[in-house]
Amino acid sequence: MQMKIGVVFPQTEIGSDPAGVREYAQAVEDLGFTHIVAYDHVLGASPEGRDFPMAYTDASMFHEVMTLFAYLAGLTRRIELVTGVVILPQRQTALVAKQAAEIDVLSGGRFRLGVGLGWNPVEYEALNENFHNRGRRIAEQVRVLRLLWTQPLVEFHGTWHHIDRAGLNPLPIQRPIPVWFGGMAEPALKRLARIADGWMPNRKPPEGWAPIVARVREYVREAGRDVAAFGIEARLNTANATPEQWRAEAEEWRALGATHLDINTMGAGLSGPTAHIERLRAVKEALGC
């Protein structure tokens, strides 16, 4: 299977002009990239007095991913729209199901839902959700999502969700919408091997990618699932790297059997949509894709 090459939407650097967002998405599609991945944060928190590391703060701009993709669904024709990842346990499950189904309908079946647990307890508290049981809840959330996407009426009574003969209308085009998981910790890897359609790794471990990829595939086998049908979506960061390094990293992931590769232009000193588009053009040329 040929590895699909997509892009990471430059949330923190693209700006708030809707014309710039449109320019970026349409240029990415015209360049032939297969998908757009967008990160998710609802709220940014001040870093002052926090006792945990913060990748993003109140100074980091984020477009709301579901609204963003509803906008892009009408501005694009072919490119897949992917959340990478929605922090699912801090959101209401039925509402996520409704939003995802609507994006899938409006895009003609071009939506994929990447989900994860997140790291920011401030965001969870503000959204009135429990940060400490998020790992246990997410598996039930995915069960509920898939039921709502495939059945006109759902009867479900679980630990955290109760639905009394209710359903979505319209249902999505994809039934169910693919659900991919982020995560690097061992419990997350075992969970996603059991229930996810694919994996979105992010932080390269000290031992490199090969051992953890092999471990995830073994967990998938142990769960009685088809490894060949399980996707892996890698990320290539373009900051502080040369075209030769871009090619080497892409080849490493191709050799490891990654199904998708996301080109990330954030953190490379670029500002505004045009600069990001030009960087993507250069990466595309370097990779020969």
Q: Domains in the chain, ordered, with CATH?
A: 34-181 (3.20.20.30)
Encode burial over 5-16: b for 16+ CB neighbours within 10 A, e otherwise: bbbbbbbbbbbe
CA dihedral sign, ordered 166, 99, 124, 135: positive
Burial of 161 (0-12, 13-18, 19+ CB in 10 A): middle
pLDDT (mean) for 14-42: 98
From 1, 12, 22, select the one nearest 58 (Cα to Cα): 12
Give the chain's mean pLDDT: 97
Least confident piece of the model among 6-20, 41-55, 122-136, 225-239: 41-55
pLDDT (mean) for 186-208: 96
**pLDDT at residue 289, rounded to an integer:** 86
Residue 182 — very low, low, confident or very high, per pLDDT cuts 50/70/90?
very high
Say what the pTM is: 0.97
**pLDDT at residue 150, rounded to an integer:** 98
Q: Is the pLDDT of residue 215 over 90?
A: yes
**pLDDT at residue 227, rounded to an integer:** 97
Strands 162-166 vs 154-157: parallel, antiparallel or unpaired: antiparallel
Q: Is the pLDDT of residue 119 over 90?
A: yes
pLDDT (mean) for 187-199: 98
User: Could you tell me what percent of the chain has a pLDDT over 90?
Assistant: 97
From 65, 19, 57, select the one nearest 38 (Cα to Cα): 65
**pLDDT at residue 63, rounded to an integer:** 98
**pLDDT at residue 15, rounded to an integer:** 96
What is the Cα–Cα distance from 289 to 239, expressed in whole angstroms?
19
**pLDDT at residue 1, rounded to an integer:** 73
Helices of type H across the chain: 18-30, 65-73, 93-107, 121-126, 134-150, 186-195, 209-222, 243-255, 272-287
Residues 6+ apart with CB under 8 A from 45: 54, 57, 58, 120, 122, 123
pLDDT (mean) for 94-121: 97
